[in-house]
Structure 1
Amino acid sequence: MIIIQWAIFPANIFRALMAWRKFADRKENEKTMKRTFISTLLLIAAISVQAAEPWSVERCMKYAADHSHSVRQRQFDLDENRTAKTRAIGAFLPEVYGSVSAQMNFGRAVDPETNAYTDVSTFYNGYGLQASLTIFDGLQRYNELRMARANVAMGRSAVQAEKDATALQVCKACMDLLYCQGAVEHTMQKREESLQLLRQTEVMAEVGQKSEADVAQMRATLAADDYELTHMQSQTTKALLTLKQLMNFPIEDTLIVERPSVETLSILSEADGGVTPAALARNPRIAQAESQVAAARYGLWAARGGFLPKISLSGGVSTSFFRNMDTGGHAPFSQQFKNNAGEYVAFTLSIPIFNRLATLTTVRSRRIALDRACETLDYERSELRRLVAEATADVRNSEKEMLKTNEQVEADSIAAHITTRKFEEGMASAIDVRTAAVTLLQSRVKLLQSQLTMMYNRRLLAYYRQASI
């Protein structure tokens, strides 16, 4: 599968055109100009073909894990969890705020200087700086910080789990693409054999050894091969587009997947054994569930802290300035700003008595969330054991199927060869030849499918048992 991308090398094409014009201006021989121009284009084509190097399955999986849209969505969730962690850390810091106020009094009011009632218009201006710090809140902030840290760990595990899931999907898509490409190759080989047999039958019909019915049957076989080839080429195009979509690979760029050998992906020498404790610890889905349990437990403890009293410390400074708008005679601003300044420090003890069952319902909700998280963790562990057992059985069955299918291909190859020789000698019909050829094609395609399925099952089992792509 070679695709020449001329747009990659516009400079080389420009130089080729300039060479063409230069030769034309010098009135060189027309054959020499054409030969030089074609040589330049062939050089560009060779460089372009070298640029489109095949991609291994591992490279496709890694590219998808780094560029997938679903992985980016999980990364955004992780960033949000990190923001929540920063907010939880900030809850331990004191809260500081300033205030500025301005007030104009008309009519009866309190004189800020004498604290007596007056009926003149006055202007009042106040300034304040306050700070407050929560000393004890039933360990709510501490547990919320631990919950935020657990959510960050859960986000990391979710990102890794999404990467692994995407990589496995891409691996399956690569196997589907390789299957379609292999089916196209086998179909093209069968079409060439049908074409040669058609020509041979036409020659034999001219000398009277075959009938026109045999020739028509061979033409029908060739037409069926053309249809099957077109159909498999269409399936190959769809499989390639599906793979590019999963990888988030540019649709217009060339992607050639290299078919691995069976030995390359033979990760396990034997397909037995269960889930090891190390695999349970490294599996990202189980790690995500464990972090979810921890976050739910810390959230429950934080909610229970709402039943305890709260102690806070606050303090501040304030000053003011006033002016009599009717008579004047007020002190300067700097003098009032200094003389009216005051400081205060306060301790506050808040004991919750009744808040319309808000704390109680929050505790119940957090307890339900903890129970749900524990159930999810148990499910993920049991599901991993089930997947390992299922993948182990799939590996064993796929290996047996590959061996049996290989034997079937060898037998069908011999049968097809013998049937073709019988047809040449007049001992078999064209229908027998077509049946044997179709059976051989199906066996070859089935063998290819069993090989790719075995590769995928081995990789899947290795991931479940080792938690590593």
Structure 2
Amino acid sequence: MKRTIIAISAFALGIQLYAAEPWTVDSCMQYAACHSHTVRQQQYALDNSRVAKTQAIGAFLPSVYGSVSGQMNFGRAIDPETNTYTNVSTLYNGYGLQASLDIFDGLQRYNELRMAKANVAMGLSAVQAEKDDVALKVYKAYMDLVYCQGAVEQTLKKRDESQALLHQTEVMAEVGQKSDADVAQMRATLAADEYELTHMQSQTTKAMLALKQLMNYPADSALTIHQPTFEQELQPIDTPLQIAAYAATSNPRILKAQQGVEAARYSLRAARGALLPSLSLSGGVSTSFYRNMDKGGHASFSQQFKNNAGEYIGLSLSIPIFNRLATSSTIRRRKIALDQARENLEYEQSELQRIIIEAASDVENSTKEVTKMQEQVEADSLAAYLTTRKYEEGLASSIDVKTAAVTLLQSRVKLLQSQLTMAYNKKLLAYYKGEKLWKTL
């Protein structure tokens, strides 16, 4: 009980230490890889494969078992001492120790051991693949949260500007420079900004909960994230075919599919081994004790235990002839499983190549989009500034001001979205090039 309390306290302390400073995207991904439910499920599957491997190793060892039997005879029976029929009551005890060892079984145990080793390797790849999948989902959720927080910041800035402009319009209306319609329009603009701010704050809360869920982080604990920086320059990258060639030998999903083919192949070989004869060696020792319940005079237990002891050794050859098509059906099922594993490997390879080509294209396009959006933000900022000045001078209407402000807000939000998309695509492409998704803290 004390250990459990200490463990819980250490876990809570770890969360508090993490929460004391903003979480980077690397720390979020690392936390999710260690605490995700899906990763733990894969870890349990790996543990099960390891147990199966231990069982496959144990199949090469001899089996040893002992036996003890007791029997009470009433009426007509064979006297074990004289080997003649008797009508007295007798007590009989038997003791034995036997051992058996399979010498040859058509290489079934050998192939099952190789299959178990392949399953363990496949389990390791599955755990790593699940960690990577969770990390990429966390990265995407982290960027979604950054986007929502950025949109809230931009919307809040626009709300403050609308509030200041409303106050200025009310002052100008008092001196006759603006009409009541202008004041009403500015109030409507401020109300729209308030609504948009509330909406984006709600989206931010949902994005935060989504990130915590992927991380398996306590929903009621505080989580502050670090605002990332973006590299706009397009770094020299390998061609998609070069990246795909590298990923085909290192990506955990491809490795898992390859190991699945290997495990299915050994499983098929083990099934075919059942068609071959099997040879086993057995041996043991046995002894017994006999007592006549109607009269005495029997030898002592120790004397009978020694005198009745016997040993035996045997060699057994079993040749399969017909087992109601069980073996042939098993072979057929495992051959189908091998074909499925090969098909899955081909699918994973083709899907990997498609994703890499798409990611490489997205990196190039998103980098261009960021550059164009930066230019658009600059132009829209200048247009919004000039429109506001014209409005103050009476050369533009309140609707013109609202339109320019909304356009500027949309441009800024789109710029942030383009930067986040570019960062995600770069991370995805770097992952397939063999880089780790997160830096160990």
TM-score by length of 1: 0.88
CA distance in 2, matches of 1:154, 1:198: 65
CA distance in 2, matches of 1:197, 1:185: 18
Q: Does 1:273 align with 2:240?
A: yes
Q: Does 1:226 align with 2:194?
A: yes
Q: Does 1:200 align with 2:168?
A: yes
Give the drift of 1:321: 0.4
Could you tell me which of 71, 86, 111 is aligned with 1:143?
Answer: 111
CA RMSD in angstroms comes to 1.6
Give the drift of 1:267: 8.7
Give the drift of 1:394: 1.0
Alpha-carbon distance change, 377 to 266 in structure 1, aligned in 2, over 3 angstroms: farther
Q: Name 2:298's counterpart in structure 1.
A: 330
Alpha-carbon distance change, 52 to 87 in structure 1, aligned in 2, over 3 angstroms: same
Could you tell me which of 261, 279, 288 is aligned with 2:229?
Answer: 261
Give the drift of 1:468: 3.4
3-state DSSP of counterpart to 2:202: helix
Q: Does 1:54 align with 2:22?
A: yes
2:286, 2:310 within 8 Å by CA — same for their partners in 1? yes
Give the drift of 1:266: 7.0
Q: Does 1:250 align with 2:215?
A: no
Over the matched positions of the two proteins, sequence identity in percent amounts to 70
Q: Name 2:6's counterpart in structure 1.
A: none
CA distance in 2, matches of 1:280, 1:460: 15
Give the drift of 1:411: 1.0
Q: Name 1:404's counterpart in structure 2.
A: 372
CA distance in 2, matches of 1:51, 1:68: 18
Q: Name 1:321's counterpart in structure 2.
A: 289
Give the drift of 1:328: 2.0
Q: Name 1:210's counterpart in structure 2.
A: 178
Q: Name 2:344's counterpart in structure 1.
A: 376
Paired amino acid for 2:236: S
Partner deviation per Cα, 1:391-430 (whole Å, 9 max, x = no partner): 1111111111111111111111111111111111111111
Could you tell me which of 228, 233, 258 is aligned with 1:290?
Answer: 258
Could you tell me which of 343, 360, 373 is aligned with 2:311?
Answer: 343
Q: Name 1:100's counterpart in structure 2.
A: 68
CA distance in 2, matches of 1:334, 1:216: 114
Give the drift of 1:221: 0.7
Q: Name 1:81's counterpart in structure 2.
A: 49
CA distance in 2, matches of 1:111, 1:271: 90
CA distance in 2, matches of 1:382, 1:204: 66
CA distance in 2, matches of 1:253, 1:184: 21
1:266, 1:458 within 8 Å by CA — same for their partners in 2? no
Q: Name 1:38's counterpart in structure 2.
A: none
CA distance in 2, matches of 1:123, 1:312: 35
Q: Name 2:144's counterpart in structure 1.
A: 176
Paired amino acid for 1:451: Q
Partner deviation per Cα, 1:352-378 (whole Å, 9 max, x = no partner): 111111111111111111111111111
Give the drift of 1:52: 2.4
Alpha-carbon distance change, 373 to 51 in structure 1, aligned in 2, over 3 angstroms: closer
CA distance in 2, matches of 1:342, 1:140: 34
1:284, 1:467 within 8 Å by CA — same for their partners in 2? no
Q: Name 2:12's counterpart in structure 1.
A: none
Give the drift of 1:276: 4.7
Q: Name 2:405's counterpart in structure 1.
A: 437
1:268, 1:458 within 8 Å by CA — same for their partners in 2? no
Partner deviation per Cα, 1:423-443 (whole Å, 9 max, x = no partner): 111111111111110110011
Give the drift of 1:50: 11
1:157, 1:285 within 8 Å by CA — same for their partners in 2? yes
Give the drift of 1:115: 1.2
CA distance in 1, matches of 2:414, 2:83: 101
Q: Does 1:360 align with 2:328?
A: yes
2:96, 2:284 within 8 Å by CA — same for their partners in 1? yes
Paired amino acid for 1:269: P
CA distance in 1, matches of 2:234, 2:303: 85
Q: Does 1:112 align with 2:76?
A: no
3-state DSSP of counterpart to 2:236: coil
3-state DSSP of counterpart to 1:123: strand
TM-score by length of 2: 0.93
Q: Name 2:158's counterpart in structure 1.
A: 190
Paired amino acid for 1:395: V
1:121, 1:326 within 8 Å by CA — same for their partners in 2? yes
Give the drift of 1:277: 3.4
Paired amino acid for 1:113: E
Q: Name 1:156's counterpart in structure 2.
A: 124
Structure with higher RCO (Cα < 8 A, 6+ apart): 2
Q: Name 2:426's counterpart in structure 1.
A: 458
Point out the more displaced range, 123-132 or 393-402.
Answer: 393-402
2:234, 2:367 within 8 Å by CA — same for their partners in 1? no
Point out the more displaced range, 322-331 or 81-90.
Answer: 322-331
3-state DSSP of counterpart to 1:101: strand
Alpha-carbon distance change, 268 to 59 in structure 1, aligned in 2, over 3 angstroms: farther
Give the drift of 1:278: 3.1
CA distance in 1, matches of 2:431, 2:295: 89
Could you tell me which of 89, 93, 109 is aligned with 1:121?
Answer: 89
CA distance in 1, matches of 2:116, 2:93: 43
Paired amino acid for 2:357: A
Paired amino acid for 1:377: L
CA distance in 2, matches of 1:204, 1:49: 53
Give the drift of 1:464: 1.9
Paired amino acid for 2:381: S
